[in-house]
Amino acid sequence: MRTVGPAAGTFATALAMAAVTAVTAVPAVAAVPTVGTVPGNAAPAAVRSDDRSLWFFVRGRFAPPGAFVRPDAVTYNRELVPAGARITVSEFAAGRSTLVGMKVAGLRPGHTYGAHVHTKPCGAQPADSGPHYQDRKDPHQPSTDPAYANAANEVWLDFTTDGAGTGAALSRQHWRFRPGEARSVVIHEHRTATGPGEAGTAGDRFACFTVPFEQRREADGR
C-alpha cells in the first residue's frame, strides 16, 4: 500500500471515505457488484475524458468458482478468504492521477495479504486473471524486475487484517488505466516482495474480484 500524503488533499480523502464506508452496505446476494457515484459529482459513474473525473465503486461477496452462478468475487482458498467474505473496490481518477481504494471484511484475522490490480477478469482458475497491470509494460514476462514491478508502476494494495478480519488499502498513481486493460483485483498469500528477481511476487492467488476499471472510455472510443 502506498501512503498518500497531505498533497492529495480532498482527492485522497474523498476516495478513502468511499472505500471504507461503501462496504458496510454490501447486499446479501453474492457476486452482484454495485456501481455508485460520488455524492455531488455531476459526472455519471465510469465516465472519463481528459477534463472530467471518474468515480465508481463495486462491491461483492466471495464465493467458490464452482458456485451455481459464477461470482465476480472468487475465492480459491476458503481458509484464508472464506466464502461470504466481502470486498469493495473504488476508483477515483482525475487529470493524470488515479486513486484505487479497497476494503475487505471477513478474512482471517491478523494476516498480511498482498493485493494488486491485474489485467484480466477472474476465472475458474487463479491464473485466469493474468499478470499485474503495469503503466510501463515490462518486455520480459513474468515481470520480477524492480524497474517495472514496483508500487509506482503497478497498483499494490497490500493490507493486514485486524482482529475482526477487516482490512483496507489505498494506492495513488500519477497515470490513468488504459481502457480495457485493468480488469480485476487479486488477493495474494503474503506481502509483495520488492527485491530483484522476486519483485511483485506475493505468493499464491487466494481470491479475485472482477472490477470494470475505465471501461466507459473504451465504449466511448476515447
Cβ(1)–Cβ(169) below 8 Å? yes
Question: According to the model, what pLDDT value does residue 171 have?
Answer: 98
Cβ(33)–Cβ(58) below 8 Å? yes
Give CA separation, 83 vs 6, 80, 116, 141, 160, in Å: 37, 10, 20, 32, 19
Cβ(173)–Cβ(161) below 8 Å? no
Indicate the pLDDT class of residue 216, thresholds 50, 70 and 90: low
Query: For residue 88, which amino acid is it?
Result: T
43, pLDDT greater than 60: no
What is the sign of the dihedral through the CA atoms of 212, 36, 85 and 66? Answer: negative
C-alpha–C-alpha distance, residues 185 and 211, integer Å: 7
Indicate the pLDDT class of residue 14, thresholds 50, 70 and 90: low
Question: According to the model, what pLDDT value does residue 7 have?
Answer: 36
According to DSSP, residue 178 is labeled P
5, pLDDT greater than 60: no
Q: What pTM does this model have?
A: 0.78
The pLDDT mean for the chain works out to 80
26, pLDDT greater than 80: no
